[in-house]
Amino acid sequence: MALTPEVQNTINTWLTPAYDADTQAAIRQLQADGQDDQLTDAFYRTLEFGTGGLRGIMGPGSNRMNRYTLGMATQGLCNYLLQSFPGQEIKVAIAHDSRNNSRAFAEIAAGIFSANGITVYLFEALRPTPELSFAIRELGCQSGCVITASHNPKEYNGYKVYWNDGSQVVAPHDQNIIAEVNKITSPTEVKFEADPARIISIGADIDARYFAAAKQLSIDPAAIQRQHDLNIVYTPIHGSGVTLVPGLLREFGFTNVNVLQAQATPDGNFPTVQSPNPEEKSAMQLALDQAKATNADIVLATDPDADRVGVGVKNDKGEWVLLNGNQTAAVLTNYLLSARHRAGQSTPQDFIVYTIVTSEVLGDIARHYNVTSYQTLTGFKYIAGLIREKEGRETYIGGGEESYGFLIGDFVRDKDAISACALVAEMAAVAKDKGRTLYQEMVDMYAQYGLYVEDLISLTKKGQRGAEEIQEMMASLRANPPQQIAGLKVVEIRDYKTGHIHNLATGLATDTGVESSNVLQFLTEDGSKISARPSGTEPKIKFYFSVKQPLKSAVDFDLAQRLAHEKIKAIIADMKLQ
């Protein structure tokens, strides 16, 4: 594919002295090798600084993650901070995960902040994203960032920006930062020359403070003391979780924590997995194999920046199975509310939060314990926003989303797989103390509330035509909403773009109660929920399915689960999604 004039002009700009010799040499090598496709992808646009920051493939180019795209983004953030906090000492915290170039990018960002007169707290080595959120609050920072691409493939890296409450930036700051970043058009506008006197190294002291705060989350330390030798297999999947998870488990009182050595060393190439994502069984397989070989009680895993948690348990047939994100969020919510109730810790001000595409069983559990539940749009920044809104009037207990994220307590303001690992282990210890397994506790939970089973289909539609197809699909669903799906009558339509909930039986319309987002939901007479949501960052449209199946007894769990999966297949077929 020949280079367009626009792409060639951008390449020519990158071959000027504003860019270093190594970058120019890498570009000239691509030119010499005739790699026009690679050059086009690297230069056809500027890597977008979105509402959460940057994320992209590493390498030279305006559409790549490198010192220049990172530098211009950081300079834009500096400019906004200096506008927002005039006359104040501005402080930021910086963390990074194990990805290739993460340390270098963190140091580049630290240098730019310091050159702009901003005090920088830079972690001495890799640390989890939730600890960055904690450090911002603990050190009284106005902002912070973490270098990570979460669970993306090894070619990627990213830059997530946080505000002074420790949450990812939200309105109006997100759009204001984007505007400032977009004003930076050349690396010559970036202050790369660091002021070392303004860069302060942090590490063990913040770890200790985090551990102290997280230990307060334990509800039943006596059960842990009795079951301290619970056999735990933990894998950080070559990521930053290894710096905190084993230590926090020991702080909780667990004495038999076995870190999977094959994945214990931080490594941005993630050599033992195709994708460092605990949502994928292949990433968890080595840990499951060790658990089987050692007759472990539970498997725990974290992704590279340790904000997502994976859990493996043994079922009643002795087989190791993985919990999905909805199941983990449900059992954690059920444990938190039931254990607090038993311990006499519940208050009328307690509340939980879950996103609109997360299992409705979380709401059922909250109602059973007379605890308020709220729903937010997808993304943990919305959960953090609700915590901020309710602070001082209501007490946040826990909240989660289907994509393996959960947060217990409010001393962190992003999903936190570190504390989640500790509480999942505590759940397993409490269950074992009763002669039961965590799997059995989960089945009993569903027998009490009804079995919810979830699935997800993600359709990729590439290019301009793909984007148009996605919009056409959403427009068609709005213009001609289904009256029934797979024989199930649709009783409610929730359109989060217009902000309206339509009850088809009564004709009444109410507000969704959340900000506008291009999401549609159809609720059926049996409690099933189908959600359509175009991705904001990828050329995809996602369909989420949640069906409810009656379950009167734990002995019927396998049958009910099979029937629920058949119901989902029927819904997918009826909607012609496969």
Q: In angstroms, what CA-CA distances link 216 with 47, 220, 298, 344?
A: 41, 11, 22, 15
From CA 92, how far away is CA 121, in angstroms rounded?
Answer: 6
Given a cut of 80, whether residue 67 has pLDDT beyond it is yes
pLDDT in the model for residue 537? 61
Which stretches does DSSP call E strand in 168-297? 199-202, 232-235, 257-259
Query: Can you tell me the mean pLDDT for 9-23?
Result: 95
pLDDT in tens, 209-267: 999 999 999 999 999 999 999 999 999 999 999 999 999 999 999 999 999 999 999 99
DSSP state of 189: G
Residue 550, phi-psi category: left (phi > 0), alpha (psi -120 to 50), beta (remainder) = beta
From CA 97, how far away is CA 566, in angstroms rounded?
Answer: 40
- Structure-model confidence comparison of residues 469 and 212, the more confident one: 212
pTM over 0.75, yes/no: yes
Tokens, residue 181: 């970043």
pLDDT in the model for residue 468? 85
Q: In angstroms, what CA-CA distances link 526 with 354, 441, 574?
A: 21, 25, 16
| Listed residue (300, 268, 272) closest to 286, CA to CA | 272
pLDDT in the model for residue 298? 98
Question: Which of 322-326, 406-410, 412-416, 539-543 comes out lowest in average pLDDT?
Answer: 539-543
Q: Which domains, and CATH codes, for the chain?
A: 45-202 (3.40.120.10), 213-449 (3.40.120.10), 453-574 (3.30.310.50)
CB-count burial class (<10 Å; 0-12, 13-18, 19+) for 394: middle
Burial per residue of 519-542, b for 16 or more beta-carbon CB atoms within 10 angstroms, e otherwise:
bbbbbbeebbbbbbbbeeeebbbb
Query: Can you tell me the mean pLDDT for 418-431?
Result: 98
Residues in a beta bridge with 534: 541
pLDDT in the model for residue 284? 97
DSSP state of 214: H
| Listed residue (58, 73, 74) closest to 26, CA to CA | 58
62, 98, 150, 403: the catalytic one is: 150
Question: Which of 310-319, 465-474, 559-568 comes out lowest in average pLDDT?
Answer: 465-474
pLDDT in the model for residue 250? 98
pLDDT in the model for residue 447? 97
Q: How does strand 91-96 pair with strand 143-147?
A: parallel
pLDDT in the model for residue 1? 61
H-only helix segments in 15-121? 21-32, 36-43, 67-84, 102-115
pLDDT in tens, 486-517: 999 999 999 999 999 999 989 899 999 999 99
Given a cut of 90, whether residue 197 has pLDDT beyond it is yes
From CA 570, how far away is CA 443, in angstroms rounded?
Answer: 24
Question: What is the rounded average pLDDT for all residues in the chain?
Answer: 95
Active site residue 531: no
Which residue type, as a one-letter code, is found at position 92?
V
From CA 278, how far away is CA 235, in angstroms rounded?
Answer: 10
pLDDT in the model for residue 536? 67
Given a cut of 90, whether residue 535 has pLDDT beyond it is no
